Amino acid sequence: MSKTVVVYHSGYGHTKVVAEAVARGAEAALIAIDANGDIAEADWEALDAADAIVFGTPTYMGNVSWQFKKFADATSKIWYTRGWQDKVFGGFTNSASPSGDKQVALIALQTLASQHGGIWVSLGQLPSNTKAATNLDPNTLGGSVGLLTRSPADASVEEVPQGDLQTAEHYGKRVADIASKLR
Ligand SMILES: Cc1cc2nc3c(=O)[nH]c(=O)nc-3n(C[C@H](O)[C@H](O)[C@H](O)COP(=O)(O)O)c2cc1C
């Protein structure tokens, strides 16, 4: 069994719900980046020990949150020593609009993983994009690079679409399974 860690920031709780779903699928530990963009020393050790790391961030102003970016910049010391070389990586972002420039944030996560010499895991699911598709269906946002989820601007944290959460669980399992195969 591989060790997977989901490290995420969530300003208002919606991305946290998605992170929990990814972690359920991956049987992963969860690390929350705090409101100052920091994680604890023990969290850095857990990331170093992981076979797979999944990054999560809300999309804010068409990119990752500044707290996630602070975390990303803090990984530069690890980058320098190639500490995360050949780990498996995945990523997700949540935002209010169906597009909302989520892809920009997701590509930032993929780029971070690539800077570390990681092996990036795509979503691996067909989109639900017919007229009949509803919020209960998987991958209604049609992601492929990684996981995209949506919580409308007036949605509570309980209202993150069930289809998106199922997609998140599926993606978490995919990342963990691939990490197990590569171990
Ligand atoms: C500062 C800020 C910027 C935002 N920018 C975007 C955006 O570019 N695109 C979008 O679709 N939603 C945007 N939103 C909406 C959030 O992505 C959405 O509310 C999301 O669920 C927040 O996740 P969180 O509860 O984990 O913080 C923004 C929200 C905030 C607070």
| Domain of residue 19, CATH code | 3.40.50.360
Q: Which atom of ligand 1 is nearest to the CA of 99?
A: 11
Q: Is 13 left (phi over 0), alpha (psi -120 to 50) or beta?
A: left
Measured distance CA(2)–CA(21) in Å, rounded: 18
Measured distance CA(150)–CA(128) in Å, rounded: 14
Reported as type and span, the H/E element at residue 32 is strand 29-33
Reported as type and span, the H/E element at residue 172 is helix 162-182
pLDDT per position as a tens digit, 135-147: 999 999 999 999 9
Measured distance CA(138)–CA(130) in Å, rounded: 12
Residue from 12, 15, 60 to probe ligand 1 pocket by mutation (most atoms less than 8 Å from CB): 60
Centre of ligand 1 to C-alpha 101, Å, is 10
Centre of ligand 1 to C-alpha 183, Å, is 36
**Residue ranges lining ligand 1, Cβ < 6 Å:** 10-15, 58-62, 94-97, 100-101, 151, 153
Measured distance CA(176)–CA(26) in Å, rounded: 5
Centre of ligand 1 to C-alpha 59, Å, is 5
Residue 181 has pLDDT above 80, yes or no: yes
- ipTM higher than the 0.90 cut: yes
Residue from 66, 93, 95, 106 to probe ligand 1 pocket by mutation (most atoms less than 8 Å from CB): 95
pLDDT per position as a tens digit, 32-42: 999 999 999 99
Radius of gyration of the chain (CA): 15
Confidence class for position 2, pLDDT limits 50, 70, 90? confident
Range of the domain at 67: 4-182
Confidence class for position 91, pLDDT limits 50, 70, 90? very high
Q: Enter the pTM of the model.
A: 0.98
Work out the angle between the directed axes of helices 14-26 and 162-182 (0-180°, nearest 10): 40
Measured distance CA(83)–CA(117) in Å, rounded: 9
Helix runs in 11-60, H state only: 14-26, 41-49
Question: Residues 151, 159: contact at Cβ < 8 Å?
Answer: yes
Centre of ligand 1 to C-alpha 45, Å, is 30
Number of folded domains that form the chain: 1
Measured distance CA(34)–CA(39) in Å, rounded: 7
